[in-house]
Amino acid sequence: MRPDAPMIRARTRSVEDTKSLAANLAELAESGDLLLLVGDLGAGKTTFTQGFAASLGISEQVTSPTFTLAREYHGRLLLHHLDVFRLDQISEVLDLGLPELLDSDGVILIEWGDAIRQALPNDYLEVGLTFIEDQPSPPNERIVMLTPVGPRWQARADDLAAAAGQWLEGPPC
Ligand code: ADP
Ligand code: MG
């Protein structure tokens, strides 16, 4: 089901922008939160996660969890980082890890999370990262769409907009 909540649209112009935006969002994060990171390969999902993790006080280098189901990092909050790009990752998370993960403490960030949307609670922040179309250059710009789905994040909609502050583009659509 596609979320119908209002979206916040932002534009970042560098890796640092995307990390800073993610860092601002991490300041709003609470244990039990779920974020779905959606976007093509190279759009910036892992980059976003790195900024998010740093803001939680995680000093460890965050990389894509390619060979493990979920990586766990300890900061102000526990961070669970998943990537369900590959079919075997999807089936593994659906067969084994998901209920336990959703029950555990901390924040969950799932790259390609839209692939398992139907198995997730309807209560998450969707972070959509897209390249700018018709853009031969500069290649470092990304549109970042924030869609709060369900009560947890909708209650923080104003804070979300404030967190995206300097990168906001136009009114929510
Ligand atoms: P994904 O996890 O979505 O596949 P990554 O975060 O691994 O993407 O890679 C994003 C790539 O795009 C990196 O090489 C990064 O340096 C580059 N990049 C350029 N501009 C941006 C930006 N504004 N935000 C995020 N990444 C960017
Ligand atoms: Mg990635």
What are the residue ranges spanned by the domains of the chain?
A: 8-167
Q: Which residue has the higher pLDDT, 94 or 173?
A: 94
**The token pair that represents 122 in the structure block:** 């309807």
How many angstroms is it from 64 CA to the middle of ligand 2? 5
Tell me the mean pLDDT in the region 60-68.
82
Please give the model's pTM, rounded to 2 decimal places: 0.93
Q: What is the pLDDT of residues 85-119, one digit of tens each?
A: 887 878 878 887 788 889 999 999 999 999 999 89
Residue 79 contacts residue 52 (beta carbons within 8 Å)? yes
Q: Which atom of ligand 1 is nearest to the CA of 41?
A: 4
pLDDT band at 68 (very low <50, low <70, confident <90, very high): confident
Q: What is the pLDDT of residue 1?
A: 45
Phi/psi at 75 (5° precision)? -140, -150
- Alpha-carbon distance of 78 to 16, in angstroms, equals 23
Which CATH architecture group holds 8-167? 3-Layer(aba) Sandwich (3.40)
Q: Which atom of ligand 1 is nearest to the CA of 129?
A: 3
Ligand of minimum distance to the alpha carbon of 64: 2
Residue 160 contacts residue 8 (beta carbons within 8 Å)? yes
Residue 38 contacts residue 7 (beta carbons within 8 Å)? no
- Alpha-carbon distance of 83 to 64, in angstroms, equals 7
